[in-house]
Structure 1
């Protein structure tokens, strides 16, 4: 008979086969001795270089042994968490003394331009370079706590393939403890597909498109939530900045901030009693480029040069740099207003403005969105990374 054992790394319960002497956690990849449980209270000083061998394995084809959950089209499977989809996971509270000063901030930045494809982008890699500058130079993130995945990287493990992005997401939350601040930034294409497990309000799963999505498939919101939202421990914070089409609820967070043009808002409750989409006690926020039925722009409109950027990423960085101490509500409004102002064609009217908008932004409205693991007053809570 299978039994339950607590992971020695992250504290989550695992299903253990009767004959197993050790088991690898699907969340943090820690190996737990199931005969004589070992309780660890030391936080690993985690860097990508130190963890690559343990997370990636000796070859890139050994995904199944890493314990990925199964999702439609994913082609991989493994032992899932022991709690059912509707159950709140355990909420371990490690002592603050176990938290290392270095590494309290960690970021994963993914930029995919899809070189050589008809649907290629030109601003995604620029986006992550700008985001890296913001995090290091303005917000105090250590240089070696940031992992970038782009097509420009020479390290094959840092190319934004589906497998590398999956493993990098696990790296992001590996060993996460109270007080940690995590950032996930993705700039590239997004899409949506029919919801097969009926956990979505609108009947669609939102998804990110890795570089090799044509052959390996997309990464859907269910998997992203399971990987970086659900394991988030008490007093840890995750901010996702997703600059992609159809990305409004791409983290599958329980609450969506619905705001009108005047700045009035309500929290839309998207919880499903059969599927728990919250954290393990931490806070998760997602700023996304547009709603689930909208597309986002890759444009030169903000730079005034031939350099392309994502409209959402540029407006996000601009707002954070220009107004220190701003609230979540102020940040969301600043991003929306910046995009509206540029789309207005610099106050031009008539056919000229229409042409400018069509060339720079396409024909679909883009309104940045905010979602969260908890409801809060967006105009009083200060935005802090």
Structure 2
């Protein structure tokens, strides 16, 4: 018998014996794991040729990250925070009614690593503990500095931790998924994106194992939410606008909710629970690491601003939170303290161009509803 495979390097399809653990692509001679091709939804109009072209484009986007920081860095910073001595994955019995997965990927072996993501994780951890009474034992912190191998932010580990987040969730639970790292887009092959692109997050091993798609994040942590469960995702990454594939997106300029339902007609709903996502920027924008808001350490712009606004405004509404975050970005741009120079200015211009975005599983009055994690 033979497996049908796709080369991880050139994306060409080929067949190989099922007995070998690794095989060589006959087209480019790259060594590949002998994993059979997954069945996929029908390809876009244009057939296999268009599908191949789009796959090659996706592969190029992945590899270009080796040379270009898609999430720009505007300064440098360090982190020396300690990690919890116990891991929530080992907890026996019922999980707490407030739990969180906090993931910061720094890509420290790359030329253009992100220097603010580890700071982001610990700043978010402190906010949850001090402001919202989360307990450290009910949090999973994923970074490349983790002494626990299960909490290195690989694709498999992130997926496993997301499953832990929603495991046996019950009415009254409040869940948080936080991600700081690179984000990308790739062509949508399932006709479930209005703009024709799936949004993704990039684990530390994504060049080998692949990115995590918005479809997969939805299936893992949004779809299982039962009535009475509340999930917040805060995603500080490029192209993160609709990273949870939620059906409603708030337009701040029009002061109204807009429809984000898939063109295919497929419904992307919870099982009665509520899901909210605050993203660093819209799907076609980039987000930045910066010291524009704090001279002491590098952090993601969204992360720093959100934490500062929430700490300074207890009981703030979702609407006021969005307004104040955008005001701070605009203020930083006006003062000229957010921009870069040289290559950075060529990539993203002299200012922070990102606009934080709110999406949700159902519409609600954002100026009358308190932001409560």
Structure 1 and Structure 2 fold alike (TM over 0.5): yes
Q: Distance in 2 between matches of 1:276 and 1:220?
A: 17
What is residue 37 of structure 1 aligned with on the other side?
A: none
What is residue 325 of structure 1 aligned with on the other side?
A: 315
Q: List aligned pairs for 1:63-142, cutoff 5 A.
A: 103-142=96-135
Q: Deviations over 1:215-252 (max 9, x none)?
A: 11100000000000000010110000000000000000
Q: Structure 1 residue 276: deviation in Å? A: 1.8
Q: Distance in 2 between matches of 1:283 and 1:70?
A: 29
325, 331, 334: which is aligned to 1:344? 334
Conservation of the 8 A alpha-carbon contact between 1:113 and 1:151: yes
Conservation of the 8 A alpha-carbon contact between 1:258 and 1:267: yes
What is residue 150 of structure 2 aligned with on the other side?
A: 157
Q: Structure 1 residue 302: deviation in Å? A: 1.0
SS class of match (1:370):
strand
Residue 244 (str. 1) matches residue 241 (str. 2): no
Conservation of the 8 A alpha-carbon contact between 1:344 and 1:353: no
Residue 316 (str. 1) matches residue 309 (str. 2): no
The structure-2 alpha-carbon separation of the partners of 1:216 and 1:117, relative to structure 1 and needing over 3 Å to count, comes to: same
SS class of match (2:335):
coil
SS class of match (1:344):
helix
What is residue 370 of structure 2 aligned with on the other side?
A: 382
The structure-2 alpha-carbon separation of the partners of 1:164 and 1:102, relative to structure 1 and needing over 3 Å to count, comes to: closer
327, 334, 347: which is aligned to 2:324? 334
Q: Distance in 2 between matches of 1:69 and 1:328?
A: 40
Tell me the number of residue pairs that the alignment of Structure 1 and Structure 2 aligns.
287
Residue 372 (str. 1) matches residue 360 (str. 2): yes
Q: List aligned pairs for 1:12-23, cutoff 5 A.
A: none
Conservation of the 8 A alpha-carbon contact between 1:345 and 1:353: no
277, 295, 303: which is aligned to 1:286? 277
Residue 221 (str. 1) matches residue 209 (str. 2): no
Q: Distance in 1 between matches of 2:234 and 2:209?
A: 24
Residue 206 (str. 1) matches residue 207 (str. 2): no
RMSD: 2.9
Q: Deviations over 1:43-72 (max 9, x none)?
A: xxxxxxxxxxxxxxxxxx9x99xxx99899
Residue 301 (str. 1) matches residue 292 (str. 2): yes
What is residue 50 of structure 2 aligned with on the other side?
A: none
* Unmatched segments (≥5 aa) in structure 2: 1-32, 44-54, 56-92
Q: Structure 1 residue 369: deviation in Å? A: 0.3
267, 271, 282: which is aligned to 1:276? 267
The structure-2 alpha-carbon separation of the partners of 1:142 and 1:293, relative to structure 1 and needing over 3 Å to count, comes to: same
